[in-house]
């Protein structure tokens, strides 16, 4: 799999936006003290549940693949020409 440009920054922003979505959806709350693995899994599962992203195969559900899915999700939400896309 080819790595996205700015994937780490996209993931960081996806976690921030995902936490806001989680709270607005009243599905829970993410604290800054929560481990990143928990944040990634929680946001990933909510987006899959809401049909905003396609789920990974059960054998492929691991942290690196979930991170990539979240980064891809955010990259598709950003407007063309956004600084994280270049």
Q: What confidence tier does 86 reach under pLDDT thresholds 50, 70, 90?
A: confident
Q: What confidence tier does 85 reach under pLDDT thresholds 50, 70, 90?
A: confident
The C-alpha angle 40, 50, 9, rounded to 5 degrees, equals 35
If you compute the radius of gyration of the chain from its CA atoms, what whole number of angstroms results? Answer: 13
Binning the chain into helix, strand and coil, the percentages to the nearest 5 are: 60, 0, 40
Q: pTM of the full predicted structure? A: 0.90
Give pLDDT tens digits for 3-56.
Answer: 778 899 999 999 999 999 999 999 889 888 889 999 999 999 999 999 999 999
pLDDT score of 19: 94
- Assigned token pair, 26: 């009243």
Residue 68 in this model has a pLDDT that exceeds 80: yes
């Amino acid at each position: 799999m080819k790595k996205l440009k700015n994937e780490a920054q996209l993931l960081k922003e996806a976690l921030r936006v995902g936490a806001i979505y989680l709270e607005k959806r009243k599905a829970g709350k993410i604290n800054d003290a929560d481990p990143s693995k928990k944040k990634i899994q929680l946001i990933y599962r909510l987006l899959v549940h809401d049909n905003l992203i396609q789920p990974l195969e059960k054998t492929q559900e691991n942290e690196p693949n979930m991170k990539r899915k979240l980064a891809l999700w955010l990259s598709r939400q950003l407007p063309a020409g956004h600084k994280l896309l270049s």
